[in-house]
Amino acid sequence: MRSKLTSAIGVLLAAAAVSGCGGGGGGGAGVALPEGCSSAEAPPPKRINLARPGKTLAPSAVVVTTSCGEFRIALDSARAPKTVSSFASLVQEGVYNDTLIHRIQTGFVIQGGDPLGNGTGGPGYYVDEPPPQSLSYTRGVVAMAKSAAEPPGRSGSQFFVVTVPDAGLAPDYALLGRVSEGFGTVRRISKLGTPSGAPRAPVLIERITLSGGG
């Protein structure tokens, strides 16, 4: 699986290296949207420069509302307390609202959470929390994206959802949780994917909201 891993890191999940590689939701005119998806416009980029949060948050889940419907992520605070707390803080700050699912890789993952919308942005800080070495990136697992040059478990704001039985990735990407409800929405979004990861039409994250805990 190493060749797939190299391709995945170099082309898709590298937050810095994807600059200029497509994605971002431009175009889409004339594309037939899957049933359940609404037409969306690519929002303007948001430039975020936050300090690393000092407060620890431990919500049990988040609800991701997109232009293709909702899905729920059960957050794994037990195995990834720092990653979950950082993600929850970004949710509270509204960082994810009105941003794109900027990369939809056919038969692999969907990826969002970049305030710039092109795969190069972040929140202005990073968190380091290597995932369990036993972690497998199977269908529904949600983890944080990073560049190949960054150490295992480093994360900013970008996250991805695995859409295939096994993505074949080494345990380098910080664990966030797993899709617990609404995987049909993830499948709809995946239908707008391409082999390169550039979406065929914009898919908007309208908002992400916390659910339970705090």
Mind listing the pLDDT tens digit for each residue in 125-136?
999 999 999 999
Q: State how far the Cα of 111 lies from the Cα of 160, in Å rounded to an integer.
A: 4
Phi, psi of 187 (to 5 degrees): -65, -40
* pLDDT reported for residue 24: 52
Residue the block writes with tokens 């620890």: 56
Tens of pLDDT, residue by residue over 91-103, are 999 999 999 999 9
Class assignment of domain 2-211? mainly beta
* pLDDT reported for residue 29: 66
Position 25 pLDDT exceeds 80: no
Q: Which residues contact 202 (CB under 8 A, 6 or more apart)?
A: 25, 26, 28, 40, 41, 42, 67, 100
* pLDDT reported for residue 7: 38
84 pLDDT band, cuts 50/70/90, is very high
Q: State how far the Cα of 78 lies from the Cα of 58, in Å rounded to an integer.
A: 9
* pLDDT reported for residue 30: 81
Position 181 pLDDT exceeds 80: yes
Q: State how far the Cα of 17 lies from the Cα of 73, in Å rounded to an integer.
A: 27
Which whole number is the average pLDDT over 64-71? 98
214 pLDDT band, cuts 50/70/90, is low
pTM for the predicted model, two decimal places:
0.88
Position 21 pLDDT exceeds 60: no
Q: State how far the Cα of 177 lies from the Cα of 205, in Å rounded to an integer.
A: 18
Position 3 pLDDT exceeds 80: no
CA angle 184, 188, 190 (to 5 degrees): 115
Share of the chain above pLDDT 70, in %: 86
Q: Where are the domains of the chain?
A: 2-211
